[in-house]
Structure 1
């Protein structure tokens, strides 16, 4: 009987650890955004993560247009990017 009660707990724990969430702005998050939007080619060719150039490319990939002014590239902007990626 105890085993039957433990099975759902183990399954729930496994599901939670299978979907890691990266903190917005962390290196892992920046890598995820880079992969999802194909900012660089995966071989180190492309702008540095979180640089102004990188943020401008992310904006272009998300919205399909070049920003009229450089994007802010701050935590608030990264939160907006995260929300847009979750909608996709």
Structure 2
């Protein structure tokens, strides 16, 4: 894994980068070959990465829209795909 000081700040990561790093952290923790202090640091980084992924997913969901059609089948605008 990349040294702590070399990791980019979580808030600058793309969804794909954050997810890839999160998967590596989960694998390392599941293998159980990590010292306690390192495990805690990895867990905290993982929590931040998960939050970043959640934020980016929510933003993407908000941008997905359904095209509204007129009675003639012509596009007349958009509306949220999943209105809440």
TM-score normalised by length of structure 1: 0.30
Q: Which has the higher contact order (CA 8 A, sep 6+)?
A: 2
